[in-house]
Amino acid sequence: MSKTIIRTKRSQKEALGPYGSLGKVLGELDDRLGMAKAGRTFMDKIFPDHWSFMLGEIALYSFVVLLATGVFLGLYYVPSQALVTYHGSYAPLEGMRVTQAFASSIDLSFAVRGGMLMRQMHHWACDIFVGAIVVHMARVFFTGAFRKPRELNWSIGLTMLILAITNGFLGYSLPDDLVSGTGLRIAYSIMLSIPGVGTYLAYFVFGGNFPGTSVIPRFFILHELIVPALIVGLVSAHLFLLVRQKHTQFGGRGRTETNVVGSPMFPVFIAKTNGFLLLVTGGTALLGALAQINPIWQFGPYDASKISYAVQPDWYMGFLDGILRIMPAWSFHNFGHTIPWEVTFPAVIFPGIVFNLCYAWPTIERLYTKDNNMHNLLDRPRDRPKRTAAGAAIFSVLALLFIASSTDVIANFLHVSLESVLWSMRALVFIVPAVTYPVTLKICRELQAVHDGGKRKTPNVVTRSATGEYLATLAPSVVDDVHHELEAELVPTFITADAGTSLSSTGVRSVER
Amino acid sequence: MTEHRTPVSLTTVSESAENLQPLAKNPIAVERRIAVLFLAGMLLEVGFGWSYWVNSPSWILGATLGGGLSLMGIGLIAWGKYLMPRGPFVEERHDLASTSDERDAFAGAIIERGASVVKRRKVLGGLLGGGLGVFSVTALFPLIRSLGPLPKGSLFHTDWRKGSYAVDITGHRIHVDDLSIGSIVTVFPEGLQETNNGQAVDQTVLIRISNENFVTQKGRETWGPQGYLAYSKLCSHLGCPVGLYEQQLKMLVCPCHQSMFDVTNGAIPNFGPAPRPLPQLPIYVDAAGYIRAQSDFKEPVGPGFWERS
């Protein structure tokens, strides 16, 4: 009798255990990293199913698009203010003296295959990035998601917003076209306006008097290395805290301060979020393909003695441009010094106030409400009327300033004098928030009083009985709502097939044990 | 030590459990639609590759790339939303805070160990702190001193000198017969019209307002020979070129923030955020009829800054 082990395919398969070679690889990894337990917890991480949780994802994925398209642009862009005579693929500029930065921006748009698409996608992705951050922060603000324990993550997000706006401006400056050069000139003058250190600051940033030849290479290194690296670091910290502290969620059936109800990381959230990554990238590509943005070849190269008319900066700089326009000419001259208050206040102090107020808000609110508890359930905005009204008032000021950045266009469009537009804006910037606050407060309090407000309405079925009596009964709830009415379960490890039923289309692999 | 991780639940659930059902009422039909989306997306991506290969216009590249990705994205989202377990599922939160013993142990480790080390070796601690302090100050030197020159008086002057010829951007000297009344030209000191500084700092608008000598303000009796007036082109608000001239109103307008300057009255701003008049350049017409500068501007040009009186 000899014992021979016949190595059939089947016996090999059985030796590997129920999960095959992938299971073996995971086992080997666990031997070295001890990751099976944490990995399982991570697979089960619950993501609440509310649509507003997607806004942060738009920001994240447009940042991914920015990184990818930015690397492409970085391969062809030349960060130099050296003057060259243009001999490139865009004929109208032939023979002009332009900087290398401008020439390479034109050539990467026209001569590099796919370059125009990448440039436009990059610019669109930036506008979407900043927009998504703002809307995401508005969601966090109005639902009170910034409260303890998440104050730090609020500050990290706010810092990323500031960095995003900064990097948007830096990148906007790089092509060295007529419009971006004017933006640089204004940035230089804003630096000059800071009392005491302004002239030194401007000279150190620009390497001398405006425009010099250093600012483009310096902004390039900031734009494509330093600021993105900071943002990547902060994104990591933001997501780490999100996993550590777990998501907030809206209240509802089965949802408490001590649990999270929603879809698990794997497979449901992974599928949705990656689909969303594809959709954001695809949407940006469609915009880049079909909607022209920042046509620098039409603006022409920068020349400090030339200027264009009715050009607006990117939208996130609009509020700064607006407040610079409507600020009265209050310059301070005395004691042998000048404080250009007409610049320092709108361009330095005002944004400082706005952003510092945002940083301080969680603390201010905690001191005001004396509420030091942990909060995992979100507020409905109407249930916190004062916060909602304050937020709405701040947003209304910023929106008005954004509108004020086109006073000239508005005057032209409405055929009214520039002066009346200017003075209306100066008045509205005080009137509108003063009206917004009490009106929002009132709306919130009225909404609180609405019975079953915010829930999906179900019709009343009115029946008349044989005796002529009318009866109103609620119709059964809408079918889709059943989803929310199921009891929330722990994410199962094993799913057993029922005899006689086959539901392969659920997307869950059934495992025989 | 207490375990703060979610306890692993080795739960077994029957495939027919309600939470595991797809949201779709007819999964097969949804699956077919998603398959169509994926297929269309794939075809569009093939189109993207092809159009890149043949160097199609930008909009075709973007439409195929973006269309394909969007369709696949929508398909994947639909797969997750309609065909995967509808949930809801739940996970428990655990207190982030440690026990008070653990807190004390942590704080104690830092404070007591630190104190025992530092208290025993005060001199070493002081020296190390001093050294790092000096380093952190000196480390700032290259940052502040090598990045640019000190401003000194450079913001107070331009390159206009006594006798500088006013030339246009092509280097052509402006003759008194060159401009008709109501005309405007941007001029630079001769030789600097193509330089950075010449364009950014010295730029000046030359306006002919009449045929007679024109006095814009007291003390400027000789500054406007034969109706020629020269003002710095740098807006006193933020330094944009004041590039628009309203001929009828005799106003210079800054296109950036709409400040308006009255050309006939020393360019005093009478609208918008600009706080100061545009500095006027004293000029004269020489024997040959060319426009030349009497001197530099009498005050700094451009936006305000601290050192300006």
What would the DSSP string read from start to end of B225-248?
Answer: GGGEEEEESB-TTT--B--EEETT
| Domain total of chain B | 3
Q: Is residue B89 part of a domain?
A: no
SS3 at position A58: helix
The minimal CB distance from A496 to the residues B12, B31, B147 is found for B12
A295 Cβ under 8 Å from any chain B Cβ? no
Chain A, nearest residue to B149 by Cα: A208
- The answer to whether the CB atoms of B154 and A209 lie below 8 A apart is yes
- Do B166 and B286 lie in one domain? The reply is yes
Of the residues B44, B45, B59, B157, the best mutation for testing chain A's interface (the one with the most A CB atoms within 10 Å of its CB) is B59
Residues of chain A neighbouring B12 (CB-CB closer than 8 A): 492-496
DSSP letter for each residue of A332-371: EEETTEEE-HHHHIIIIIHHHHHHHHHHHHHHHHHHHHT-
Residue B90 domain flag: no
CB-based burial label for A253 (10 Å; 0-12, 13-18, 19+): exposed
What's chain B's length in residues? 309
> How many contacts (CB atoms, under 8 Å) link A and B?
387
- Report if residue A133 sits inside a domain: no
- B55/A305 Cβ within 8 A: no
Residue B290 in this model has a pLDDT that exceeds 90: yes
B89 vs A contacts (CB less than 8 Å):
44, 46, 261-264, 488-491
- Of A409-413, B109-113, B115-119, B178-182, least confident by mean pLDDT is B115-119
Does residue A107 fall inside a structural domain? no
- What domain range includes position A27? 9-34
Cα(A361)–Cα(A382) distance, rounded to whole angstroms? 18
| Residue A110 forms part of a structural domain | no
Do the chains contact at A498 and B69, CB–CB below 8 Å? no
As a residue count, chain A comes to 513
Q: Would you put residue A79 in left (φ > 0), alpha (ψ -120 to 50) or beta?
A: beta
Of B61, B80, B258, the CB nearest to A275: B80
Q: Based on the domain organization, do B234 and B121 belong to the same domain?
A: no
Asked, for residue B307, whether it belongs to a domain, the answer is no
Q: Is the pLDDT of residue B2 over 60?
A: no
Using the beta-carbon criterion (under 8 Å), do B61 and A117 form an inter-chain contact? Answer: yes
Residue B96 lies in a domain: no
**Set of chain B residues whose Cβ sits within 8 Å of the Cβ of A505:** 22, 27-28, 31, 83
DSSP SS3 for B7: coil
- Residue A198 within a domain: no
* Cβ contacts of A13 within 8 Å, gap of 6 or more: A20
Three-state DSSP class for B291?
Answer: strand
- Give the one of B196, B203, B309 whose C-beta lies nearest to A337's C-beta: B309
The C-alpha atoms of residue A91 and residue A106 are separated, in whole angstroms, by: 11
Exposed, middle or buried, A276 (CB in 10 Å: 0-12/13-18/19+)? buried
For residue B123, the enclosing domain spans: 109-145
- Single out the residue in B100, B118, B145 at which a domain terminates: B145
Closest residue of chain B to A40, computed from CA coordinates:
B8
Indicate whether A491 belongs to any domain. yes
Last residue of a domain, one of B49, B83, B117: B83
Report DSSP state, residue A266: I
Chain B neighbors of A483, CB-CB under 8 A: 23, 86-88
Give the closest-approach CA distance of B158 to chain A in angstroms: 11
Shared domain check, B47 and B128: no
Residue A492 maps to a domain: yes
Are A199 and B77 an interchain contact pair (Cβ–Cβ within 8 Å)? no
The predicted structure's pLDDT at residue A346: 94
User: pLDDT at position B142, please?
Assistant: 79
CATH number at residue B260: 2.102.10.10
**For residue A376, what are the CA distances in angstroms to A55, A248, A379, B93?**
19, 5, 9, 9
The alpha carbons of chain A give a radius of gyration, in whole angstroms, of 29
Residues B55, A113: C-beta atoms closer than 8 Å: yes
Dihedral of alpha carbons A289, A290, A293, A297, sign = positive
Write down the pLDDT at residue A504. 44
B8 within a domain of the structure (yes/no): no
Nearest to B14 among A286, A287, A496 (CB): A496
Residue A189 lies in a domain: no
Residues B173 and B276 in one domain: yes
> What does the DSSP 8-state code read for residue B195?
S
Residues B279 and B162 in one domain: yes
Residues B26 and B134 grouped into a single domain: no
Report the SS3 class of residue A471: strand
Confidence grade of residue B3 (pLDDT, cut at 50, 70, 90): very low
Which parts of chain B are beta strand (E)?
Answer: 12-14, 89-92, 166-167, 184-189, 204-208, 228-232, 244-246, 251-253, 260-262, 268-271, 283-285, 291-293
- Looking only at the bridges linking them, the beta strands covering B184-189 and B166-167 are antiparallel
Decide if A269 and B240 are in contact by the 8 Å CB cutoff: no
Does B254 lie in the same domain as B219?
A: yes
Query: Given an 8 Å threshold on Cβ–Cβ distance, is B15 in contact with A308?
Result: no
Which contiguous run of DSSP H or E holds residue A461?
strand A460-464
Yes or no: say if A129 and A287 are a contact pair by the CB < 8 Å rule: no
Q: What is the maximum alpha-carbon separation in chain B?
A: 105
Q: Which of A276, A285, A496 sits opposite B66 (nearest CB)?
A: A285
Residue B206 in contact with residue B189, Cβ under 8 Å? no
Partners of residue A339 in chain B, C-beta under 8 Å? 304, 306
Phi and psi angles of residue A161, each rounded to the nearest 5 degrees, phi first = -60, -45
Taking Cα atoms as reference points, which of B43, B31, B24 lies closest to residue B76? Answer: B31
Q: Report yes or no: A330 at the B interface, CB cutoff 8 Å.
A: yes
* Alpha helix (H) residue ranges in B54-188: 58-78, 100-120, 122-138, 140-145
Query: Which tokens go with A336?
Result: 């042998």
Q: How far is B128 from chain A (nearest CA, A)?
A: 30
| Residue B90, strand partner residues | A261, A490
Verify that B42 and B134 share a domain, yes or no. Answer: no
Q: Does A421 contact B at CB distance below 8 Å?
A: no
- Contact residues, chain B, for A113 at CB < 8 Å: 52, 55
Asked if A259 has any chain B CB less than 8 Å from its own CB, the reply is yes
Total domains present in chain A: 2
Where does the pLDDT of residue B10 fall: very low under 50, low under 70, confident under 90, or very high at 90 and above? low
**Nearest beta carbon to residue B91 from set A260, A281, A418:** A260
pLDDT in tens, chain A (513 residues): 556 667 778 877 777 878 888 989 999 999 999 999 889 889 989 999 899 999 999 999 999 999 999 999 999 999 999 999 999 889 999 999 899 999 999 999 999 999 999 999 999 999 999 999 999 999 999 999 999 999 999 999 999 999 999 999 999 999 999 999 999 999 999 999 999 899 999 999 999 898 888 999 999 999 999 999 999 999 999 999 999 999 999 988 788 999 999 999 988 999 999 999 999 999 999 999 999 999 999 999 998 888 887 677 889 999 999 999 999 988 888 888 899 999 999 999 999 999 999 999 999 999 999 999 999 999 999 999 999 999 999 999 999 999 999 888 888 899 998 889 999 999 999 999 999 999 999 999 999 888 766 666 677 888 898 898 998 887 776 655 544 567 888 888 777 776 544 444 444 444 444
In angstroms, the separation between the Cα of residue B93 and the nearest Cα of chain A is 5
- How far away is chain A from the Cα of B278, in angstroms, using its nearest Cα? 14
Contact of A331 with chain B, judged by CB distance below 8 Å, is answered with: yes
Task: Tell me if B151 and A275 make a contact (CB, 8 A cut-off).
Answer: no
Question: What's the sign of the alpha-carbon dihedral B31, B33, B35, B38?
Answer: negative
* pLDDT at residue A502, rounded to an integer: 44
Q: How far is A15 from chain B (nearest CA, A)?
A: 23
User: Is the CB of residue A292 less than 8 Å away from at least one CB of chain B?
Assistant: no
Q: Specify whether the CB–CB gap between A368 and A361 falls below 8 A.
A: no
Residue B283 within any structural domain of the chain: yes
Query: Do residues B133 and B171 both lie within one domain?
Result: no
Query: What H or E segment, with its residue span, contains residue A427?
Result: helix A418-449
Going by C-beta distance under 8 Å and a sequence separation of 6 or more, which residues neighbour residue B237? A189, A324, A329, A342, A343, B254, B256, B257, B259, B272, B273, B274, B275, B303
**A286 inside domain:** no
Is B93 among the domain residues?
A: no
Interface test with A, best of B71, B94, B147 (most A CBs within 10 A): B147
